[in-house]
Amino acid sequence: MCGKDYISIRATEDFFKYHKVPLEALHLPNKSCRAQREVIDSVPYYMSRISKNKYLTCGGKALEKNLTHISYSLSLLSDPQVTGNIIRDPVIKMNFTCSYPYIRRVSLSFPVLPFSSETVMHVAELDAMIQMLLYRDHSYTKAYTSAPTIELGDKVYVEVTEPADYFLLRINECWATQFAQPNTTEGSVHTLIQNGCVKDQTVSFLNVTAGQSGRNGASSIIHYSFDMFRFLAEPHDLYLHCTVQLCEGDDHESCMANCNSISKREAVRGDPSQGLLSYGPIRIEMPERPESSILMTVVLPVVGVWIVGFFLIILITVAKAGSRRLARLEEQ
């Protein structure tokens, strides 16, 4: 069983009795980590369960990592057989491994309709969830509970979290599109974060506790903000997409991006094999133009009428003057 914060193995008591192995003879590689007896639905089991904090202490093997998973490996052993003055191999040796995925893909679509966006990925008996939420201000205490409207230039406060606190999180890429699909070829695209580093100069990672400048990849919660913007062409709504990497809890150094080096690696976006979060849309508050409305609907028509009337008066005056002049000429 591969849990969020533990791994365990169990087999029925009858299995061990058949092999004549008593409970007190069962242990992990470190003999101080003993097995226990547990009854589940009236069936007795011998089992060994350890938390992730005691994995190495109890004799766990060195962590194995590849591009997508972290693997924990242990063995449940029985005490060696003693025959006279010699020892044989243990009767029981059960090797077991738990593999946890640490590369996930999430998308937060801007603008926002749902209260939050989340995805759950199931691996063995582990349910690992990543969430994305949008908050009203830098305190990150009040998430939006309805579709927000944000003015241009205002800060957008985003939280990405792995609630189980099992992994460290690092945002690898974030980019905005005009449409909900992260891989869309329609419309414009604007990059906010690339290779774990700030691409848009308004992006800022925030310390989760102090609210000051923070780092990407330092904990299981990431807070970051950027200034709201819109694309030149319609639609003006934004959709934000992020790729998120999960790192093993003790792997602080490699989880943090090296933003001093230049990388030409292109972002891998919208991989359908990854968990995808869609969050949106958010409406962008456009500047109100009441003056122009009044000008067009009231002021300009009135001014136009006055101008036309003024020219009519001039024309009438000129016409009358011409008529009087013609009359005088005829009299002469």
Q: Tell me what percent of the residues of the chain surpass a pLDDT of 90.
A: 15
- Separation between Cα atoms, residue 254 and residue 81, nearest integer Å: 44
Mean pLDDT to the nearest integer, 115-125: 48
Token duo for residue 145? 């509970």
Task: Indicate the length of the chain as a whole number.
Answer: 332
- Whole-number pLDDT of residue 332: 58
Same fold, 6-101 and 103-285: yes
Beta-carbon contacts of 129 under 8 Å, excluding residues fewer than 6 positions away, are 118, 119, 120, 121, 162, 163, 164
Q: What is the pLDDT of residues 179-197, one digit of tens each?
A: 888 887 788 889 999 989 9
Q: Where do the structural domains in the chain lie, given as residue ranges?
A: 6-101, 103-285
Alpha-carbon radius of gyration of the chain: 35
**pLDDT classification of 200: cutoffs 50, 70, 90:** very high
**pLDDT averaged over every residue in the chain:** 76
Whether 37 shows a pLDDT value over 90: the answer reads: yes
Of residues 110, 132, 108, the one with CA closest to residue 237: 110
> β-pairing, 80-83 with 86-90?
antiparallel
92, 118 in Cβ contact below 8 A? no
Position 299 scores a pLDDT of 53
As a whole number, mean pLDDT of residues 175-182 equals: 85
Report pLDDT digits (tens) over 1-10.
Answer: 888 788 889 8
Q: Alpha-carbon distance 158 to 175, whole Å?
A: 13
Q: Could you report the per-residue pLDDT of 53-91, keeping only the tens digit for each? A: 888 899 988 888 877 788 889 999 888 777 677 776 667
What digits encode the pLDDT tens for the residues 258-298?
887 554 444 444 443 344 554 556 656 665 555 444 455 55
Res 53: pLDDT: 83
Question: Does the 103-285 domain belong in CATH 2.60.40.4100?
Answer: yes
* CATH T-level fold of 6-101: Immunoglobulin-like (2.60.40)
Q: Is the pLDDT of residue 125 over 50?
A: no
* 302 vs 113: CA distance, rounded Å: 44
Whether the predicted pLDDT of 114 surpasses 50? no
Q: How far is CA 76 from CA 34, 43, 327, in A?
A: 9, 20, 128
Would you state the pLDDT for residue 115?
44
